[in-house]
Structures are given as structure tokens and as C-alpha cells.
Copies of this chain bind each other. A is one copy, B any other.
Amino acid sequence: MHRLPAGAAAAAALLKGGRPNKRIRVYDCRHQDLPSKVLETRGLDFHGFLQIVRTCFDIDLHESFVLATTDKTLLDYGLFDELQDECTLYLWQHKDQTLPTATEKNIMFTPHYDTLIKSGTHEYYAENQKALPYALAELVDNSLSATAKNKGLRTIEIRLVFDKALGKHGVLVLDNGCGMTSNQLNNWAVYRLSKFTRQSSTFSSEKEGYVRPDDVPRSLNSDISYFGVGGKQAAFFIGDSVRMISKPWNSPYVHELALSKEDFQRKEENNEDVYTGRIVSRMPCDPSQITDDERFLHDVVGEESGKQSFTVVVITGILPEHVNYLKQDFEEWTRELAHIYHYYIHGSNGNVLSQPHCPRRNPTQKIDILVTLREKSPKSPISLNLRDVNNDMQTLYINAAADTFEFMANTGDDGKVEGVLRYHPFLYDRETYPKDPCASQASDNDDSDDYVSDAGARGKKDIFECFWNGRLIPYTTVSEFDWCSRPKKVSDLPAECFSRLSGVLFTNDKFSVSTNKLKFMELELKLKNKETIFTPILKDQQKFSKRGNIEKEFMQWIQNCHERYDKQVKFVGFKGTTTRTDV
């Protein structure tokens, strides 16, 4: 069957003005085999169209016939003008005839453009204002992937320009990564096209077969692009238009692609194909594409000179509440980002404050993640390297730990987990388990301390924070494992010790996460599966022994921690008895 190219025809008709031409498929229901023809309405009114129908379907002058929609509404003068382009009509002898056989109608069902512009709106949000750091994280994820093969320093900058003197408000993410060819930039815009499904390039032989990176400690492999949605979702969550500026390695040109809500709406109103766009290629430092609204781009374009490759994501039309949050809660969200990328920034041992110049801190490659904020003068610009954040939760846990216990786990299907448990002792008159400095504001009815004090230092909190390919997945925590939970049978060790544990799990990407990277899909399920084997990594030997019984090793370790580090007996308060008026 012949397919009518949607959109295009309607657009062409509109351009001509006046009564638009419509292509209408007419099925002849007077015949068993339902012959059909596509007729055009160009310049015709209903009467004229009926003449055409009569001619095309060889209907004798003495024969009568009716035209009806697929839902059997009879057509008349008024309705004829309201017919949509590419609709289907049935030609009947009289209006009560039944369909002699099934008819077919071709349709198009291209996803609505809300697919792109609304995909993030409902997903990053989760009961609090913390959504924005996770949206920014999607862009940092992309920059980490793009800089993975850098020879030298990897630089990622989140640049906030909230100064009317420089144009609209802008949120920019810049990196010195590999950049994108114009085909890759095209692919960037395709929702749900991932590195696993991607194929096209200018040359068919250049198919980008995806190669899994090798195993590295803590799975810090920078391979955190997965679903083909992150960049778009994040950009349209933060603002209403996004411009990508990218220069690929080995190309003399810079490519630009801009998408905006306004463009999508306009194209839809004009019945144009919404998923069309334009990639501009230009020489580096050519400012000709910069609009007055985006004057701040003069700096950005100026910086292009001498860069081998780079990518800049420019988001504008920022929601006012986002601008407020980014300005007012600067410390909170940068702290959260420092938490998410803790091990990328500080290396696999994390931010050990007592050894600030330890060479092991960044075993592979240096990654700078900078945040800069420029508000209107006289406010002076702020600049922060996330490496200098010293109060993210991982930093607190690492530095409050008296001792650590490391382990590994392997699932049946190549899933790999590294784990660290940390002991936070009781010292003199208080627990040293770190408190989240922001938590009390966020969930104010959770800190009814007296209520849960028996649950100990950790309170209701789960033990483990979880990292996936080295990046924090913020909404999944793992409470504990069988082998590290308080034993049911009475033991010498006070129960409180088990609540002095914090922990981290590092998984590779054989564990899957949700599209917004906020949650693991089935981490606990997989870890609790019988095929998953935990092995302790014993310090003395600096290797893990296949035969080491993890529960035994752990119990020894925690017993040891308690004896060596807890500095005072804590008395469990006498509760008294409660009485009430009798019934």
C-alpha cells in the first residue's frame, strides 16, 4: 500500500495558502475486495469532489452513492471542509450497507515532542528540591564518558551565568572531551538511541561498535552513558532550550545544534515534522551564530581557540525556581555532586583528609569538576573545585572511620561488587557516626532521636551507599547483609556496635539502574541470591582468600573494633513504666 508522507504535504499546502490540498483515501465498499484510491481535494468543494469520485470509481450517472468516514458519519458540505489531510473515507451505495470485508488504513504514530521536553519533569523529582543536582549529574556523566580517553587533565565545568548584562540566564556544562562529529551530534538528539543501538555515521564502515571497558578498581571506568535519554531529559528539566556546541577530535569544524520547546511548538502548529533540525558547522572562534540573548557565549566561543576537541551544553530558559535554588543552595547541591562523583574526584581511596598529598589518591587520571557562578555585579563570581568539598557524606564517613573491612562479591552473571565497611566508634560521651548536615532540614520528622535511640548511632539508616560504575546511585541504599547483621543469639558484643557501621558498595554495570540513574533495579535481590558469593579481602595478605568465611572474618573484625576503639561504656537508660487512666 502506498504511504502518504505525513506533515510534508500539509506543510506544502499551507504554504500555498487558501483551501489546503488534502489527500483522501477512498475505499469502494460496493465491491467485495474494497478497491481504494487516493484522491486530492485541490481547489475542490464538496460538489466538485463528488464529481471526481464519480469519475474515478466509474459510477454511472443514474447510480446514487454516499461518502462516509470510517466511523460511518455521512459527509456533507460542512464536514467536507473539515476533513483532515490523509484521512480515509468509505464509498457506499447507501448508508446502511455493511462492510463487505475488513479495510485497512495506514497511520503514523511518531511520538509527541513531549517525549523530549517532558521526559525529565516527572522523573527527577522525588518529594524534595534535590532534583536539580541529579539533572546536572546527567550532564557530568556525559562529560566523564567523553573525557575517558583524554591523554591529559580531564576538565568538566558547570558554569552558571545569571547576569542579565550577559543575556538570558544560562546553565552551561563544558568539557575537554572527545567532542562529537556532526553525525554523533545528530545521534545525540535521538531520544533512546544508546551506544548499544547506534549505527549510522557518514560512512557505513565507521559503525561505532561498543566495546566494554576493562575492569578497574571500584569500577571507575567512566562508562556511564546507557539509555540515550540523559542529556535531553536533563536539559529540558533545567530549562526550555538547549544548544550543543562540539568540536570532535581531528576535525577542523565546530558543530552546533539547538533544540527548543518553542521550536517544537511552532513546528507542530504549522503541521511540520517536529523532529527536524539543523546542524551548523563553522570554524572555531566564529561568533556569527551568537544571538543577543546568549551574549555570554562570546566568552565560550572565544575560549575555543587552541582546543583540540570539546563539548559545551548551553541551557537557557531556566525555570526561575531552579535559578533560585542554584544560587541560594549553592553549598547543598555542590556538596551533593561532590558526593555523587566522590571516587572519580578523589580516586579509589576517597577523600582521606589526613593524607592530602598521598600520591595514591588519584591512581589513574586527574579529573577536575569545577562549578562557577556568575551573578550580576557587584556580586563577584564564585568558583569551586568539587575536590575541595570536605563535607560530603563519603568524606565524612571516610574520615570518621576507625577501621575498615573490605570485601568482594561476584554474581553468577559477571556482576562484580567491591565493598567497604567502616567502623565509627563510641568515644567518651558520644557516638562518632557522622550526621548528615543537611538531613535535619530535609526530613524534620525523622529526627525524633529519643524515639529511636535504641536503634543506635546509625538510627534507621541503611548501612550501604551504592555506586554504579563509580558513580553514586542516590536513591538505593542496602540495609545490611546476613553476615554483617546483629546475630540473633546472644553474644559478648553489645548490640550497639552493629549500628556503628557505614559502608559503600561499588558495582559494575552488570547491575542495572533506572533510566534516571536514581535507583538500582534489583541490587538487593541479586546480592541476596544464593549464587552471589561474598569473600573478605584480608588486610594482612592484601588479597582475598576464596575460602575466607566472610561472617567469621567480619565478626572478628567488629569485635576487634569494639575492643580497640570504643572508649567508654554506654549505659542504656532506665525507661520507667508508663501508666494510664484505667478504663
Contact = CB atoms under 8 A, between A and B. Distances in A.
Given A107-B278, A112-B193, A197-B114, A203 B562 contact: no
Interface stretch (A116-124, A393-401, A409-417): A116-124
A333 B360 CA distance: 51
A60 interface: no
A579 B572 CA distance: 10
B82 A205 contact: yes
A105 B186 CA distance: 10
Nearest to A573: B575
- Chain A, interface residues (CB within 8 Å), range: 35 or more
Interface stretch (A312-320, A364-372, A431-439, A448-456): A448-456
A317 to B, nearest CB: 19
A292 interface: no
A571 interface: yes
Given A107-B279, A202-B71, A276-B107, A572 B578 contact: yes
Most buried by B among A127, A286, A567: A127
B111 A494 contact: no
A16 interface: no
Contacts of A579: 569
Given A253-B70, A454-B454, A563-B583, A102 B288 contact: yes
A190 B110 contact: yes
B476 A71 contact: no
Interface string A242-260: 0000001011110101000
A70 to B, nearest CB: 5
A286 B102 contact: yes
Given A83-B202, A281-B102, A564 B580 contact: no
Sorted nearest first, the 10 A-B pairs with minimum C-beta distance are A109-B189, A111-B191, A102-B282, A114-B192, A112-B192, A82-B203, A71-B251, A112-B193, A115-B192, A110-B275
30 contacts: A1-B278, A70-B181, A70-B182, A70-B281, A71-B181, A72-B251, A84-B201, A87-B202, A102-B280, A103-B281, A103-B282, A104-B279, A107-B186, A107-B276, A107-B278, A108-B273, A108-B277, A109-B276, A110-B110, A110-B190, A111-B190, A112-B194, A127-B523, A128-B522, A445-B480, A448-B486, A460-B460, A492-B580, A567-B583, A571-B577
